[in-house]
Structure 1
Amino acid sequence: MKRPFHALAATALLALIAALPAPARGAEPAMRGKANPAAVVERGQVRFTVLTPRIIRMEWSPDGHFVDAPSQVFIDREQPVPAFTTSTRDGTLHIDTDSLSLAYKLGSGRFAADNLTIRSRGFKTAFDWHPGLPEPENLKGTARTLDRYDGDVQPDTGKQLDLGQGLLSRQGWHLIDDSASFLFDDSAWRWVEKRSCADCQDLYFLGYGHRYEEILGDFAKVAGREPMPPRYAFGYWWSRYWNYSDSEIRELVEDFKRYGIPLDVLVVDMDWHRTDDLDWNPKYAKQDAFGQLVGWTGYTWNRSLFPDPAKFLQWLHSQQLKVTLNLHPASGVSPDEARYPAFARAMGVHDGKAIGIETADKRFMTSLFDTVLDPLHAEGVNFWWLDWQQWPDSKQLPGLSNTWWLNYVFYTRMQDADRERALIYHRWGGLGNHRYQVGFSGDSVISWRSLAYQPYFTATASNVLYGYWSHDIGGHMFADGTPEDQRHIDPELYVRWMQFGAFSPILRTHSSKEAGLRKEPWRFAPADFAALRQIVDLRYALAPYIYTASRQAYDTGISLLRPLYYAWPDQAKAYDAGNEYMFGDDLLVAPVTRPMQDGVANVSTWLPPGRWYDRNRGDVLEGGRTITRDYTLDEVPVFVRAGAVVPMNPPAVKKLQGWDDHAVVLRQFPGGSAHTRLYADAGDSEGYRRGEYAFTAIDGQRDTHAATLSVGARQGQYPGMPQDMQYTVELPDAALPESVTVNGKPYTRSDDAQPGHWQYDGDTLTARIVVPARRADQPLKVAVQFAGDAPDVAGLRYRMKRTTTAVEWLKYHWNSPAPLPDDVSLAAQLGRLIDYRPEQLPALVKAFDARLGKLPSEVDQTHADAQTKAQFARMMKAISAK
């Protein structure tokens, strides 16, 4: 069962989005607290609002006064009125939608087990709910932070991480008690306020059976959409807690260019500001007037490290880098801050004393932005990294989470600036915080256990729509007590963590201030460096696919990275595959999270029903089963829906900021058909919320005999949109085409991949059709026919790669001046032989397969030592057994 955009659903969705009113500047979009009166059923002390067929709001008020203001969680109750009926029988009110049947005994007071029930209608997973019913099969949500956790365990206390309750349950329902949440006022920059009734009940019942995707979409309608990060946020972020200087950062950026590593975001940790008297040793640490450790909070540049901040930021922008700075705002603003005089005047303070922070004080927060933060933003700081780790709740409004509220304040203030798309990164503050990306998961312990936990942690966060966790890739710090001789990065662990990072929402490396924690890719051995650069390049290649999935998350509530049970809710194994997840609609990822043995890591992967293409081996597999395959250091267990078309960037793209999106690679995988869409917008504005975007429909069919790919006329408009598009169609693991036509015009082969021709790449067994740039409002159809006697190349690429590896190993263990046997040398060069003579593909493949069986015996007849012969024979046997 595939759940990408279908044609009719896509049309209806676009119409719905277009009908939504444009958001007010400086406010969260669609913050409309009052529901359509036609959706409301009011009877004395109770009020029921049918928000969707699957969500009913239930209020009880002793005086019959109800809340219409938006709450922290539910900001848009003005939804299209779903079909429902009401009736009263024997003093009981009945409300029925096509999914739920509610019954409440009128005049019986507060909602309780004896006066309120909701039953399912038409769901395969039936339920009969009443208040107080436990929910043991909840599928979890997420946690505020992974600070100091080794996997899901806090080593200091042994405490297991609590992911709380998510919106989804295998029981088919979930209840949200919104009674104690705060409300928003109706000011221009909406602010928090307490509810007037402490005894009132404000409950939201979500009933959905196993229709998980539908209820996430419903929740997104009433609780706010999952906003898109700017396009550059999907590139590589470099971060390290280190007292970098201006010169050192410039050298770092030049090294990224020198070694060919793409980079889009530079994170500068807290040493950008003055950290005088900061000390980690409790014996020497000082506290300020507010009981906070001195040195953590700061807003004034350290001029010994950054003599001219404006020129430093200007230079970074000239390198097409976005910049974020770390903030620990707990101590407010002290008199030694450069902007203290302006801030004090704005606050009406004249005694020259430090001014403590109160996040719920609108005057404080407005003044902080006006006089302190906005000038830094104008200087060139693109967005803020909030690092609040202090007291949990507001002192002015007890019960208001400082984390939650700071996320709201910083994100919506950035929206108010209206210069660029809003972005922050901070910790999870609770339900409703999905509207303020990106999440910073904190300081996790460097271990295989931490890596193994993060895929599950990230996937379950989508159960509360928190789809953009950013982890400290590679881990933040060593476990307490780690011996000095072990306080260094394990290259294998780091490569595997980076591979997970590339298939995560945000790819950001980070580490604590420790000299041995050096994660620059070029500091590793050649094989590790090659694997690191390869995975970052793959991340940039996948950017169009990822960005399209981000738009899908905004439209539907289905996050980029999500558990398998969304699409396969009735498959028990989908709930057990905690290390696996879907990355967009078409990629299933099962990261390697354990060390290799004998040069490979064995990973068991449950493949859901359907057909799946193994990205590493190039073969198509039937799903509905668990398979075990081995992976070398540079391989990631990724399975693609058979027949999928994945839009990608050409290799030349090394920046996502200012991305020239007129050139796209459409990679069409074997084994089936596909319908998908390619999304594009301006990349760094809020216009995507207001209809400033474009979609291009793509349909394809590929089997062993032929491939067809249709690209529809682009629909939509956005500022700076290119009028022409240049498409390159790639068919990996394909036989040599017999014919290629584009819009009916025959294309001929060209070994240098000239536009208007096709090329065959022997190393990757890829047929590549390069279509010249053409108007994007014109449809395109590519048709490829393969020869009837074409060789079966499924799995051939795997055998080629492993054979090359075995021959390279043999050369380094060859203790003779004599050359290797001819068949051995030739077996390692099949890709090159095909490049030279693509038309001889059938004969070359046949000769290669014949050689493989002979290689061990040919080596056995040489003067190589017995140990070398035996190991080479084992390597070749492993290849032939796959």
Structure 2
Amino acid sequence: MKPPICFRAAAWLMASAVALPVAALPVATRDAAPVMHGKANPGAVVERGDVRFTVLTPRMIRMEWSPDKHFVDAPSQVFIDRDQPVPKFTTATRNGEIHIDTASLSLTYTLGSGRFSEKNLTIHSKDLKTAFNWHPGQIESGNLKGTARTLDRYRGDVQLGSGKHLDLGQGLLSQQGWHLVDDSKSFLFDDSAWRWVEKRRCADCQDLYFLGYGHQYEKILGDYANVAGREPMPPRFAFGYWWSRYWNYSDSEIRDLVENFERYGIPLDVLVIDMDWHRTDGLSEDSRYAKEDTFGQPVGWTGYTWNRSLFPAPSQFLAWLHGQKLKVTLNLHPASGVTPSEAQYPAFAKAMDVHDGKAIGIETADKRFMGSLFDTVLDPLRAEGINFWWLDWQQWPDSKTLPGLSNTWWLNYVFYTHMQRADKERALIYHRWGGLGNHRYQVGFSGDSVISWQSLAYQPYFTATASNVLYGYWSHDIGGHMFADDTPENERHIDPELYVRWMQFGAFSPILRTHSSKEAALRKEPWGFPPEVFAALRQIIDLRYAMAPYIYTASREAYDSGISLMRPLYYAWPDEAKAYDADNEYMFGDDLLVAPVAQPMKDGAATVATWLPPGRWYDRNRGDVLDGGQTVTRDYTLDEVPVFVRAGAVVPMNPFSVKKLQDMDNSAVVLRQFPGGNAHTRLYTDAGNSEGYRRGEYAFTAIDGQRDAHAATLTVGPRQGRYPGMPQGTQFTVELPDATLPQSVVVNGKRYARSDDARTGYWQYDGDTLTARISVPALSAGQPLKVVVRFADDAVDIAGLRYRMKRVGAAVEWLKYHWDSQSPLPDDVSLAAQLGRLIDYQPEQLPVLVKAFNTRLAKLSAEVDRSHADTQVKAHFAGMIKAIDKG
């Protein structure tokens, strides 16, 4: 008996686990909790009169100049943990100059010469690729960019109206091998229990951080993460599917929506409710009806009181959603503070000691205001069942009381750390990028991008490049938010092909969230599309859920190392010129190279050219292994995504029974092992939604593998570590995609027999996906696993066979719809489209069946050409078969 169809439908998944070093588990350290250590270890500090140098790492030196010799030990917005292990370095004074040497850098400064300038300060590299000799004021022309606050009203990287290209600012990485962060003007944190912002005392002082790394990009990102704070893990549910639409949904409509997700078998973890959850009276896009409030904002934009005509009983509504195992977030536009029309106004006014009955304007840097806002307005809503906030701030950029303090930056800090202080659950917000240091407060909301192929084509580059400032969790409006103003009325509808391709990118991006503007034509419910589109959408969402263990492990790697889940190719291949030019490609975790389709299909497929870095790569769609160091051009049908996997990699996956990531407990794990090489990796697990992951509450499982044409060996070590709710054991299913029929399967010394049933203690062979699947009974946490599979020495070569099977099936299906329905197809044509089924019926005949298929494929065009079919039908069919041969 075959596995369930949902399991088989996404068996084309070709992903792999993050290749983290399998060493001793990291121990809980003093920085595991979200605390700040502004003062550096004295052993790292060199102070001489009006200058102070702090050697933070071999590649990072802090340089301070203060005319009154008072230096800053308080944590800043960007750098919060200067108390790092002291690296080896030497200090010497010669001829009035101080010399500081680390393993990577050599600094020279002329003592008593005042402010740092090109005349008195130099740093040159030591034994680094891309050597440099730096001085203040030097232009950094090779910067690899960072990220931007928003994609609001951008078509690709071009803003509507102005025509300006998006400025991604400076990132931490440069092809010149160095970068300078000028922290002189950033604000500081005080030492109160809930640390708050304060100004620097000295406006003219210099506080510079020099990062010198050559091509050691990954090392400097790790250095920065240690000093500027780690990239926190979102809760596990955040990696599921988020449904969002700007629409005035009612309680009943949302219940119908959620029930449809269940009815159609589509996973869902997060429900986003846009601003119509509260009263929006007076809000209108028509200037004749729009009103402004006391603060110059549109009336109805800010609100905290439930719209009872849409949600008559909010607490009961939220309880029902939680009963469906959904997390809920509400949209906030807090620009207008709290007005007398809000239900919470009396309590808030009392807390603020306001008695005149007037609206109380927001001041983000006012601790009393923000604390009272949480105490009297937001926390009671959280208590009703709101899990986290979508903070949609897009008003004035800076604080009114602290000019220069970004409201976006500060609100990220305030909302995130308040949740950390108030909740047992893992902190999560959903807001815009505010600048360096904001990587500590995920998740990003990129804003209202324009629906277009250009926008889709730009977002992979935009998202991957953000990792250069550790902002690794962008959430986009998948499918685009709005039409451009110049879009003709008859074109203001969703292009199903564009939407599928955008969803495919979303599945291979940090956060998968669909959203759209309040326009009736923008309906993105999967069940509203034609069958082939619905199938592609459901398949890609299923794929996302199956990849969750791989993604979650990569998220832990980002926390530990500073290397984001999604990043550019030049991290791993800094010496390859093409790695810097591959804007449409990125690494998704350590083992997946993704190049999303971002142009329409022609004749049923889109052609994509992908540069493969050095090494060997497995094509998830074709099933063959390719040598890297070349560009390959291949075609992709609507349900295919250009993804290449490191040859030999092992991927941890969910079984397809997991439809809620809240339910994912890693008690059942699928390990897919790919052909062509070795793997050394590990699987990360924790409780999923607590801050305990910062304190050592987690586990790793080491995985090693090797697979070639003759054998596959997979070893899973005992689980190391503990966390609350950890399952006592794990049931592993080992899958070998694009494998010939095994000759023998041995699990922990026991020989397994083949069975057509998907049951533990046996192995089976799936003809449609050419996958050998071994189901192992549950093992205790401390019990290792070793699986050894051997193939016949003369086994049939099936590289690329799955691609040919699928394309032949599609060609024959097309032919049937253009054939004389009263006449049967030639026998060999019908049989050529059913190789997978024939293998399922007689797997032991695999070599004979493959040989017969290849023979039939070679003569398919001739078979049809001899028929009575229309000349144009013959020609089109022949073209489809010829394309398979070229592939």
Alignment of 1:558 onto 2:558: no
* Equivalent residues of 2:19, 2:591 under 8 A apart: no
Aligned pair partner of 1:20 in 26, 30, 34: 30
Aligned pair partner of 1:163 in 149, 152, 168: 168
User: What is the CA distance between 1:3 and its match in structure 2?
Assistant: 12
Structure-1-length-normalised TM-score? 0.98
Counterpart in 1 of 2:110? 105
Counterpart in 1 of 2:852? 847
Counterpart in 1 of 2:246? 241
SS in structure 1 at match of 2:64: strand
Counterpart in 2 of 1:441? 446
Counterpart in 2 of 1:700? 705
1:149 maps to amino acid: Y
Counterpart in 2 of 1:544? 549
Counterpart in 2 of 1:89? 94
Counterpart in 2 of 1:26? none
Aligned pair partner of 1:287 in 268, 289, 292: 292
Alignment of 1:500-511 (within 5 A): 500-511=505-516
2:803 maps to amino acid: Y
Alignment of 1:310 onto 2:315: yes
Alignment of 1:730-741 (within 5 A): 730-741=735-746
Counterpart in 2 of 1:675? 680
Alignment of 1:475 onto 2:477: no
Deviation per residue, 1:589-622 (Å, 9 max, x gap)? 0000000111110000000000000000000000
User: What is the CA distance between 1:862 and its match in structure 2?
Assistant: 1.4
User: What is the CA distance between 1:768 and its match in structure 2?
Assistant: 0.2
Alignment of 1:576-595 (within 5 A): 576-595=581-600
Query: What is the rounded CA distance, in whole Å, between the counterparts of 2:17 and 2:658 in structure 1?
Result: 29
5+ residue gaps, structure 1: 24-28
* Equivalent residues of 2:17, 2:683 under 8 A apart: no
Equivalent residue pairs, number: 872
User: What is the CA distance between 1:107 and its match in structure 2?
Assistant: 0.1
User: What is the CA distance between 1:4 and its match in structure 2?
Assistant: 5.8
5+ residue gaps, structure 2: 1-15
Structure 1 residues 491, 6: CA separation in 2 closer, same or farther (over 3 Å shift)?
A: closer
Query: What is the rounded CA distance, in whole Å, between the counterparts of 2:288 and 2:818 in structure 1?
Result: 57
Counterpart in 1 of 2:364? 359
User: What is the CA distance between 1:6 and its match in structure 2?
Assistant: 5.4
SS in structure 2 at match of 1:247: helix
User: What is the CA distance between 1:861 and its match in structure 2?
Assistant: 1.5
Query: What is the rounded CA distance, in whole Å, between the counterparts of 2:845 and 2:824 in structure 1?
Result: 26
| Percentage of matched positions with identical amino acids | 81
User: What is the CA distance between 1:391 and its match in structure 2?
Assistant: 0.3
Aligned pair partner of 1:269 in 266, 274, 285: 274
Query: What is the rounded CA distance, in whole Å, between the counterparts of 2:866 and 2:292 in structure 1?
Result: 77
SS in structure 2 at match of 1:159: coil
1:619 maps to amino acid: D
Aligned pair partner of 1:466 in 458, 465, 471: 471
SS in structure 2 at match of 1:406: helix
Aligned pair partner of 1:620 in 625, 641, 645: 625
Alignment of 1:825 onto 2:830: yes
Alignment of 1:769 onto 2:779: no
SS in structure 2 at match of 1:160: coil
Aligned pair partner of 1:596 in 598, 601, 623: 601
Counterpart in 2 of 1:378? 383
User: What is the CA distance between 1:30 and its match in structure 2?
Assistant: 3.5
Deviation per residue, 1:465-514 (Å, 9 max, x gap)? 00000000000000002111110000000000000000000000000000
Counterpart in 1 of 2:816? 811
SS in structure 1 at match of 2:413: helix
Counterpart in 1 of 2:529? 524
User: What is the CA distance between 1:47 and its match in structure 2?
Assistant: 0.2
Alignment of 1:869 onto 2:879: no
Query: What is the rounded CA distance, in whole Å, between the counterparts of 2:445 and 2:83 in structure 1?
Result: 32
SS in structure 1 at match of 2:485: coil
* Equivalent residues of 2:29, 2:695 under 8 A apart: no
User: What is the CA distance between 1:84 and its match in structure 2?
Assistant: 0.3
SS in structure 2 at match of 1:20: coil
Query: What is the rounded CA distance, in whole Å, between the counterparts of 1:170 and 1:178 in structure 2?
Result: 22
Alignment of 1:158-237 (within 5 A): 158-237=163-242
* Equivalent residues of 1:287, 1:294 under 8 A apart: yes
User: What is the CA distance between 1:434 and its match in structure 2?
Assistant: 0.1
Counterpart in 2 of 1:642? 647
Structure 1 residues 602, 5: CA separation in 2 closer, same or farther (over 3 Å shift)?
A: closer
Alignment of 1:67 onto 2:77: no
Aligned pair partner of 1:405 in 399, 404, 410: 410
Deviation per residue, 1:225-276 (Å, 9 max, x gap)? 0000000000000000000000000000001111111000000000000001
Structure 1 residues 800, 22: CA separation in 2 closer, same or farther (over 3 Å shift)?
A: closer
Deviation per residue, 1:543-565 (Å, 9 max, x gap)? 00000000000000000000000
Query: What is the rounded CA distance, in whole Å, between the counterparts of 2:423 and 2:861 in structure 1?
Result: 67
User: What is the CA distance between 1:289 and its match in structure 2?
Assistant: 1.2
Could you list the structure 1 runs, at least 4 aligned residues long, displaced by more than 6 angstroms after superposition. Answer: none
Aligned pair partner of 1:78 in 78, 83, 91: 83
Deviation per residue, 1:742-782 (Å, 9 max, x gap)? 01110000111210000000000000000001102111100
SS in structure 1 at match of 2:243: strand
Query: What is the rounded CA distance, in whole Å, between the counterparts of 1:816 and 1:42 in structure 2?
Result: 90
Could you tell which deviates more after superposition, 465-474 or 254-263?
254-263
* Equivalent residues of 1:816, 1:863 under 8 A apart: no
SS in structure 2 at match of 1:330: helix
* Equivalent residues of 1:816, 1:864 under 8 A apart: no
Deviation per residue, 1:67-120 (Å, 9 max, x gap)? 000000000000000000000000000000000000000000000000000000
Query: What is the rounded CA distance, in whole Å, between the counterparts of 1:314 and 1:613 in structure 2?
Result: 46
CA RMSD of aligned residues (A): 1.0
Query: What is the rounded CA distance, in whole Å, between the counterparts of 1:4 and 1:695 in structure 2?
Result: 12
Alignment of 1:485 onto 2:495: no
User: What is the CA distance between 1:658 and its match in structure 2?
Assistant: 2.6
Counterpart in 2 of 1:301? 306
User: What is the CA distance between 1:419 and its match in structure 2?
Assistant: 2.1
Query: What is the rounded CA distance, in whole Å, between the counterparts of 2:661 and 2:127 in structure 1?
Result: 46
User: What is the CA distance between 1:157 and its match in structure 2?
Assistant: 0.3
Alignment of 1:690 onto 2:695: yes
SS in structure 2 at match of 1:673: strand
* Equivalent residues of 1:472, 1:510 under 8 A apart: yes
Deviation per residue, 1:119-148 (Å, 9 max, x gap)? 001102100000000001000000000000
1:389 maps to amino acid: Q
* Equivalent residues of 2:278, 2:305 under 8 A apart: yes
Query: What is the rounded CA distance, in whole Å, between the counterparts of 1:124 and 1:59 in structure 2?
Result: 27
* Equivalent residues of 2:612, 2:631 under 8 A apart: yes
Deviation per residue, 1:176-232 (Å, 9 max, x gap)? 000000000000000000000000000000000000000000000000000000000
Counterpart in 2 of 1:856? 861
Query: What is the rounded CA distance, in whole Å, between the counterparts of 1:94 and 1:74 in structure 2?
Result: 24
* Equivalent residues of 1:3, 1:567 under 8 A apart: no
Query: What is the rounded CA distance, in whole Å, between the counterparts of 1:814 and 1:516 in structure 2?
Result: 37
Counterpart in 2 of 1:38? 43
1:293 maps to amino acid: P
1:244 maps to amino acid: Y
Query: What is the rounded CA distance, in whole Å, between the counterparts of 1:203 and 1:114 in structure 2?
Result: 16
Structure 1 residues 59, 3: CA separation in 2 closer, same or farther (over 3 Å shift)?
A: farther
Structure-2-length-normalised TM-score? 0.98
Could you tell which deviates more after superposition, 289-298 or 555-564?
289-298
Deviation per residue, 1:680-732 (Å, 9 max, x gap)? 00000000000000000000000000000000000000000001100000000
2:729 maps to amino acid: D
Deviation per residue, 1:334-392 (Å, 9 max, x gap)? 00100111101100011111100000000000000000000000000000000101000
User: What is the CA distance between 1:881 and its match in structure 2?
Assistant: 2.1
SS in structure 1 at match of 2:154: coil
